[in-house]
Structure 1
Amino acid sequence: MTDRLPLLSAQLAFGLDAQRSGRRGTVTMLLRTPASRLSTEDVRQVLRSVVLRNPALSYRIRFSRGEAYAEWCPDECDFAEVHAASEESVPECQTEIVEEFEASLDGPAMAARLIRSPEGDNLLLVLDHALVDEQSMLLIKRQLAAPSEPDERQRDRYKAAIIDRKASEEAAGSGPGVTFWAERLERAGEFDRVPGRTTRVIPIESFPSVAVPPSFRGSLFPYVLFSIHRALRDVAEPGPGVIGYPWGGRNAAYADVVGCFMNTVVSLDPPGSRQAPDAPGDFVRSWYREVDHADVPFTTVTGLGSTFSGSVTAMLSYTHAGAPTVDVAGVPAVEVTARDSRPPEVCKLLAGVTVRGEELRLRLLLDEEIAGYGAREFGARWRHWLTTAISSLPERKP
C-alpha cells in the first residue's frame, strides 16, 4: 500500500491554491559566492544529503477521488548546473527556474540550480511551500555546510510530527477559539470578495529603513501590522482590512524536523477604526486577543460561514536578519534578496520587514494594476505610520 500522511491545515490550503491557480506556492533561497568557488560535485553531495535527511522532501501533495493527502515519492535530488551570460542576467534566469518549478504541480518538493556567471556562482533553492515553511528553511540552510549520513529514524519522527500537529489542529478547530473568530469576523462586517486573477512577475520595491527608538520595549510586530492597516486606510481600501501572516506553533519536541507546520493568522481592522493618538495601543491590545487564538487553523476560520473567503488585503513576512554568510559545502556564501517576484493570488500586496540591529528594513511587492494605487504611494504611508507608531510610545521608566 502507498505510504500516505494526512494534510495539515497549511498544506491543504497551499495544495488547494495550487490546484485552482495551476501554480505551486514556493519558498526560495539564493546564495552567491565569487566565481568558480563552488564545486558542482560537492554541492550535489550536500543537496543529496539534504533530501535524504529530510523526509518531507520526498512527499508530494495529492488529490484523488475527493481525498487530499501527502504521498511518499522518494527520488533523486533535482539538481543541475546552468550558465548565465553575466551577473546581471542571473535574476532573469532565477525567475525562469522558479516559474518552471511552480508550474510543475507533480514535481519534486525541491529543485536546486547552480547558476554560474563570469562574475559569480549562485546556488538557487526552490521548495514547495506546502511541504516546507520558513522555519524549516532555516534548518535546511544550516544543513548546506556539509553532507551527513541519513538517520533512519527521521522518517518516523516526521510522521510523528505530522500526527502531533494534526491532533493539535483538530483540538483547536473545535475549541473556544472558533467562537472567538466567528464573532470577530461577524463584527468586522462585509468582506470584499477578490475574484480569481492571474498575477505577474513585478519588481520588489525597497524603502528607507525605520530606526527603532532606544527606549522601545516589547514586540515590534503588532506595530508593523498597525502601520500596514493605517496605510491601507490612507489609500482608500474599502471594507475590513485583513492582513495574513505565518505563525509558528510546532511542538518543541520536533523543532529540528523539516516540514510545513505553520498556520496563517489574520489581523483584522474593522471599518471606522480610530486614528486617535492612542489608536496604536488599542490595536496592539486587540492583536494580543487574536494571538491568544492563533492556533485555530486558517482553513477552519475561512469556513465559519462569514463572508470571509480566505482572500486577504495583504500578506506580511516578518523576519530577523541572520548571519552575514551561509556555509555551502565549506564555502562562505552571501544570501541574496530577490529583485522581483509574483504576488500571491490571495492578496493585493506582500509586505516584507526584516529586523536588522536597531532598524526595520521594508520591502513591498504590489501589483499596481490590481491594487489601483501606487507602490511608492503606499510605501510612503506605511513608513510614515510605522515611524509614528513606534516613536510616539511613552518612554518606560527604568
Structure 2
Amino acid sequence: MHASITAAYLARYRSAAAESPVELLPLTGAQRRFLITRRLAPQSRSDLAPLFFAFPGGTLDLDRLGRAAAAVAAGHPALCGAFATVRGTPVLRTGGPSVEVARVAVAPGGSAEGALREALLDWPLDGPALRLLVARQSDGGEELLALALDHAACDEQSIGALLGELGEAYRHDRAPEAAPGPQAVAAFREAVELQLAAEEAAAGPAARAHWGRRLGALTGAGGGAAKAAGLLTERLPAVEGGARSALFPALLDAVGAAARRLHRTDGPLALGYPWGGRPPGAPAVLGCFLNTLVHAVPPRPAADLEALCDDWWDDLDHAGTPFDEVVRAARAAGSPWSGALDAMLTFEDLQRRPPLVLGGVPGREVHLSGRPLAAPLAASASHGEVLTVHLAWDSERFPAADAEAAFGDLLAVLRRHLA
C-alpha cells in the first residue's frame, strides 16, 4: 500500500506538537523542503528570497523602518518565532517577530551591491525570517535596500502583501505588537492544514501514474545549488492578448534550449518551476504555498508550441502533487533521477504586485548578480510594461561565453514562439 509523504509528516507533527511546551504549527510541503535543504547544504543560502530597491540617499529612516518591519511581522506567524526541526520533524515554533533591520558598511573601493551580497551570504541558519539591510553607494548617492525573506515564509502572493503592508506601516509609523494574536495563529494553521489536505489528495494513483509517464525517462545532468552566479538581462515587448496564454510554455521551451547548451547533453533534463497557490477558502496568510513542478526538457526545441501547451496543461491538472511524490513516481517508473534540478524558471506578473513606497518615495527595483541559486542555471521573467528576462548561471561551472551563447538560444526560441 502506498503511504503518502504528507500523511507520514502529519503523524510525526502531531506527535511532536502534543509533547512540546511551546505551540508548534505545521508546515506545507514546500516549507519542509526548504528546511531540509538548508540542513543538507547550510552554506548554499539558495533558500532565500531577496528583493533589492534603490532609493535616493537620505530617504530611509532605519529606526522607523525597524518599527514598521516588526509591526508587519507581528501580524504574521510565518515572520515570527522560528522554523525548526523537532524530533526530525519540520515545524514553525511560535514566538515574537523574527526581524533584523541594519545598515551595512561599504568597504573603501567597494559597492553597495557587493556589501549586501556578502551580508546575505552570512544569514544565520536559524533566522531571522525577514531582514532589511541598507547600504549606501560609496559615492554618497543612492541607498540600496535588500528586503530578504526566508523562502519558507513567503511566495509571490506573500511578497506582494508584504510590500503593501510595509509601506503602510512605515507611513503611519506603527508600533509593533509582541507576537501574533490567536486569530492570526489560527488562520495560519487553517491555511496550512487545507494545503496539506490538498497535497495528500493530489498524490493519488492517477497523479503518480501521470508523473511516472512524464518523467520516467528523466536522467538529469547532476543539478544542484550554485554558490556564485553571473547574470544576463534582456527586455522584450510585452505580450498582449491571447498570446499571453502561451507565454509560459514558450518560456519553458526557451529555457530548455539554454539548459541543453550549458549542460551539453541531449538527455532529458529536469527544469523546475514554482506553481500553485493557496487552496480555495484558505485564509490569506504569509507563507510558502507553492509546489515545484518539473518539465522534462526534450532533445530539441518544440516545433509545435500548441502541442507543448497541451502537454503543459496536462501537467497543470496534476500541479498539486507534492514534489517529493513526483520524484518518487519518476523513480518508480525507472528513472535514476535524484530530484536535483538542472534548471529553474520563475515568472512574475508585476501588475499584481504593488511598489514598495517608503517616505512617499517608490523604490526602484534592481537585480544583482552573484546571488546563490537553487540550480546551476535559473531563468526568471517578469511581465509588466515590458517582458524582462534574466538568466543567471553557476559561474564556477559554466564559462561566461557559454552562458552568453545559451542566453542567445533562449531569446531566439522565445522570439520565434511569440512572433
Using structure 1 for the length normalisation, give the TM-score.
0.87
Displacement of 1:159 after TM fit?
A: 1.3
Q: Residue 68 of structure 2 aligns with which residue?
A: 46
1:87 and 1:6 mapped to 2: Cα distance? 46
Equivalent runs, 1:326-345 vs 2, <5 Å: 326-344=356-374
For the 8 Å contact 2:256–2:301, the answer to whether it is kept is no
Q: Residue 145 of structure 1 aligns with which residue?
A: 167
1:385 and 1:57 mapped to 2: Cα distance? 40
Identity %: 27
1:227 and 1:350 mapped to 2: Cα distance? 12
Unpaired runs of at least 5, structure 1? 392-398
Displacement of 1:324 after TM fit?
A: 8.4
Distance change in 2, residues 1:195/1:367 (3 Å): closer
Which of residues 233, 237, 254 is equivalent to 2:265?
Answer: 237
Q: Residue 321 of structure 1 aligns with which residue?
A: 350
Equivalent runs, 1:51-200 vs 2, <5 Å: 51-75=73-97, 77-84=99-106, 89-101=111-123, 104-117=124-137, 118-147=140-169, 148=174, 152=181, 153-174=183-204, 176-186=206-216, 189-192=217-220, 194=222, 199-200=226-227
2:99 and 2:241 mapped to 1: Cα distance? 47
SS in 1 for 2:348: strand
SS in 1 for 2:245: coil
Distance change in 2, residues 1:291/1:275 (3 Å): closer
Q: Residue 222 of structure 1 aligns with which residue?
A: 249
Deviates more, 1:290-299 or 1:74-83: 74-83
For the 8 Å contact 2:277–2:289, the answer to whether it is kept is yes
1:63 and 1:107 mapped to 2: Cα distance? 13
1:329 and 1:87 mapped to 2: Cα distance? 29
1:296 and 1:57 mapped to 2: Cα distance? 26
* One-letter amino acid of the structure 1 residue matched with residue 78 of structure 2: A
* One-letter amino acid of the structure 2 residue matched with residue 11 of structure 1: Q
Q: Residue 35 of structure 1 aligns with which residue?
A: 57
Q: Residue 291 of structure 2 aligns with which residue?
A: 263
SS in 1 for 2:368: coil
Which of residues 26, 37, 40 is equivalent to 1:17?
Answer: 37
RMSD between superposed Cα atoms in Å: 2.6
Displacement of 1:301 after TM fit?
A: 0.8
Displacement of 1:160 after TM fit?
A: 1.1
Distance change in 2, residues 1:122/1:199 (3 Å): same
1:39 and 1:161 mapped to 2: Cα distance? 35
For the 8 Å contact 2:218–2:270, the answer to whether it is kept is no
2:362 and 2:404 mapped to 1: Cα distance? 35
2:337 maps to 1:308: yes
1:207 and 1:243 mapped to 2: Cα distance? 21
Using structure 2 for the length normalisation, give the TM-score.
0.82
2:359 and 2:23 mapped to 1: Cα distance? 32
* One-letter amino acid of the structure 2 residue matched with residue 242 of structure 1: A
For the 8 Å contact 2:50–2:149, the answer to whether it is kept is yes
Displacement of 1:201 after TM fit?
A: 2.3
For the 8 Å contact 1:231–1:381, the answer to whether it is kept is yes
For the 8 Å contact 2:104–2:119, the answer to whether it is kept is no
